[in-house]
């Protein structure tokens, strides 16, 4: 099955109302059964301002629905900060791609300039990204030499630990973390590390469960084989693969609002 991890903010998918865990059953009437992820992506992509019709099945629906999406150029924000009442900062990380480094640094500077007394770290609908970006961002939250994650191999002697390289600007900041079923990969590891290392509470719903390390092996005839060679573990040794991270305080959103930032506001966001 082709399952959506999370619709990224300000994208055609988000504006159309797609949500985490939605299954893409067909693209323009062509079944995705037996198609690879890359094949489906190729069918979905196209020229700006053209339409693609996705047949979507959602857990709360009795039958699939066709959702029409207008293609557009995609510029994905990586981080934003918003000041809330009572001098609380809402810090959203949308993904762990390259632009996050500069955007996150600016967000942290805003937090310091406003002398906030606490941070709500929103990792909902964050599908993850690059390992090196995660380790860089992890430096902001912990003290020097804190464990960020463990790369766990079947042969334990090859296990690799990733640790912080400095004391972080937010290491003493009171923090609570928001997660949901769209929180995946590096976002799950950050949430787990904050809980393991600092006892920080996770609020929301169980995360996605994507913690595998994969490697491409070249085969004859131009083929490739993708093999899972290790798993990512949180600092306390929790394997998130397929299980995800369980929240400390369970708060559910209306499922029809769960995947779209455009429909979640300060007034109706029960998790926030």
Show the tokens assigned to 217. Answer: 């092996």
Residue 230: Cβ within 10 Å count: 19
What span, in angstroms and rounded, lies between the C-alpha atoms of 5 and 184? 7
DSSP label at residue 28: T
User: Among residues 9, 22, 196, 207, which one is catalytic?
Assistant: 196
Does the annotation count 47 as an active-site position?
Answer: no
Residues 174/118, Cβ–Cβ less than 8 Å: yes
Q: What is the DSSP string of 22-81?
A: -EEEEETTEE-TT--HHHHHHHH--STT-EEEEEEE-TT-SS-EEEEEE--------EEE
User: Among residues 78, 185, 207, 260, which one is catalytic?
Assistant: 185
DSSP label at residue 47: S
Does the annotation count 28 as an active-site position?
Answer: no
What span, in angstroms and rounded, lies between the C-alpha atoms of 171 and 175? 10
Does the annotation count 210 as an active-site position?
Answer: yes
Q: What is the DSSP string of 190-212?
A: HHHHHHHHH---EEES------E
What residues are labeled active site? 185, 196, 210
């Amino acid at each position: 099955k082709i399952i959506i991890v999370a619709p990224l903010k300000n994208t055609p998918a988000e504006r159309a109302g797609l949500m985490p865990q939605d299954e893409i059953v067909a693209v323009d009437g062509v079944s995705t059964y037996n198609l690879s992820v890359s094949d489906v992506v190729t069918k979905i992509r196209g020229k700006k301002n053209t339409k693609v019709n996705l047949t979507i099945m959602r857990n709360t629906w009795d039958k699939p629905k066709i959702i029409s999406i207008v293609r557009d150029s995609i510029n994905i924000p990586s981080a934003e900060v918003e000041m809330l009442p009572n001098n609380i900062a809402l810090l959203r990380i949308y993904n762990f791609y390259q632009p996050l480094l500069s955007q996150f640094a600016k967000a942290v500077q805003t937090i310091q300039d406003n002398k906030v007394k606490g941070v709500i770290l929103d990792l909902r609908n964050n599908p993850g990204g690059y390992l090196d970006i995660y380790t860089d961002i992890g430096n902001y939250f912990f003290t020097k030499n804190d464990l960020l994650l463990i790369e766990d191999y079947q042969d334990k002697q090859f296990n690799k630990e990733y640790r912080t390289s400095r004391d972080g600007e937010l290491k003493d900041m009171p923090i609570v973390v928001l997660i949901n079923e769209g929180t995946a990969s590096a976002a799950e590891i950050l949430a787990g590390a904050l809980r393991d290392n600092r006892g920080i509470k996770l609020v929301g719903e169980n995360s996605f469960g994507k913690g595998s390390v994969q490697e491409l092996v070249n085969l004859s005839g131009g083929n490739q084989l993708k093999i899972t060679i290790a798993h990512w573990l949180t600092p306390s040794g929790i394997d998130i693969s397929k299980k995800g991270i369980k929240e400390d305080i369970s708060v559910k959103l209306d499922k029809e609002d769960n995947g779209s930032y455009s429909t979640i506001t300060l007034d109706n966001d029960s998790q926030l």
